[in-house]
Amino acid sequence: MVFSSLFFVFFFLVASYGIYFSARKMKTRNIILLVSSLIFYAWGGPVLVLLFCLMTFICYIGALLISQNRVRSIRRALCATTVAICITILFIFKYAGFSMSVAYSIFNIDSAIPNIALPIGISFYTFQLMSYVVDVYRGEVEAQRKYWLLLLYASLFHQCIAGPIVRYADVNDEIENRQITLADMSRGISRFSVGLAKKAILANGCGVITDTIFNQNGAMMGADGIADLSSAAVILASLCYMLQLYLDFSAYSDMAIGMGLMVGFHYKENFNYPYIAHSATDFWRRWHMSLSTFFRDYVYIPLGGNRVSVPRHIFNMLVVWALTGMWHGANWNYILWGLYWFVFLVIEKYIIKPQREPKLLPRALGIVATFIIAFFSAMLFKFNDLSALGQAVANIFVSNGNGFSDSATDLIFKNNVFFIIAALIACTPIIPAIRNLCEKNGTTQKIYVAIGTVMPVILIVISAFALAGDSYNPFLYFQF
């Protein structure tokens, strides 16, 4: 079950929240929310819920033991053991097959690799649980005494399969003592409707263009198929995939934040228009911010951060970006994707040394350069087949003799030019800027309020038509 399905929007969400608001006591509401979350998660594989509950129980016991012990060495050992168990479980389900394929290739072993089912969202809830255990060890939060409440925190269906990565410290007070206001309800419904439209209309539309060009007979083209494409075809498909990545993932974050607001949870923002970033560093202050801050606080800073020698700092960055790449998937292209960003960040830090707040022209040039860097990083993300990736990059520079464009690509572009412009605008803060202007202008405020009242309904209806009329509705972040 995904947020952008008609069943979820018009049945699961309505039913679960209807039952939720029929209860008066917070404890009853939390039980309803927990049951709803477990049902939601079990939809993709009932047996895997047991793994989820087991990992939560391990972290629950580990945190309790840490909180009850005052001997530093024992506390450190308990924390390390609990985190190691979580990492081992994550490795078995997400990386064992990839590691075995690499080992078999190195040692020339001819044997079948077991097909291990990947639990949906395992990276998200594993990181959340590990951050909880570490924060208890650091004394930043109190250990949760009730297992079912820790399970509620980890399983909240708003964000358990697609983020943002919500830390226990951010919501522990709201688990048992949250207030639901009319303002939060209104903001939550608006935010959810925007996210749904962003996913159902814009992200899916971009995905259709990408797949129309890159997919052949329902499967991703290999290097030979890519070689037949023109430069314009590869650029257009890759651009649309780049837009799809942001629109899809930020849409899930929008919907998660919106659903949280509806029931009194305030999740932190996860995206801040990364495609207008003026540097690689600025990009990662804007893209998947909950993941960036996780690696900063639990890997980068404990390694020493930037308060070390230059070689050690570069090593710390290498570790963080190798792990960031691996987090996204068990394949070489994701590892290379992480190392790709590592290289640009090192160049930026030690060679270019950009200003934190550059002037207008350098900023504009920085935005263009960062957009191009992000464009090629999206290509790394798209192609699991490295030979096909190499061919696609080569095609961009017209190395295949096919010419820059072709009639089929020209037709696709002409038929979708206004849609692509709309998708590009949605990746910028232009619309929020107009909204803020309307809020400050008294003459247009009433019109703005009227539009803001009906707009969520309009967006949900349009999204419903888009979802009902099209079977294309991928969940890009299943592997996370």
For the annotated catalytic residues, the residue numbers are: 328
Q: Which two tokens stand for residue 441?
A: 């202008």
DSSP 197-262: HIIIIIIHHHHHHHHHHHEETTEE--HHHHHTS-HHHHHHHHHHHHHHHHHHHHHHHHHHHHHHHH
Calpha distance 101→427 (Å, rounded): 38
Beta carbons of 375 and 238 less than 8 angstroms apart:
yes
Beta carbons of 324 and 338 less than 8 angstroms apart:
yes
The DSSP H or E segment spanning 93 is: none
Strand, helix or coil at 153? helix
Calpha distance 443→433 (Å, rounded): 17
Calpha distance 430→436 (Å, rounded): 10
Strands (E), 43-155: none
Q: Report which DSSP code applies to 74.
A: H
Strand, helix or coil at 84? helix
Beta carbons of 165 and 268 less than 8 angstroms apart:
no
Beta carbons of 175 and 30 less than 8 angstroms apart:
yes
106 by Cβ neighbours in 10 Å (0-12 / 13-18 / 19+) ranks as exposed
Q: What are phi and psi of 428, to 5 degrees?
A: -120, 165
> Is the preceding omega at residue 119 within 30 degrees of 0, hence cis?
no
Chain centre distance of CA 206: 17
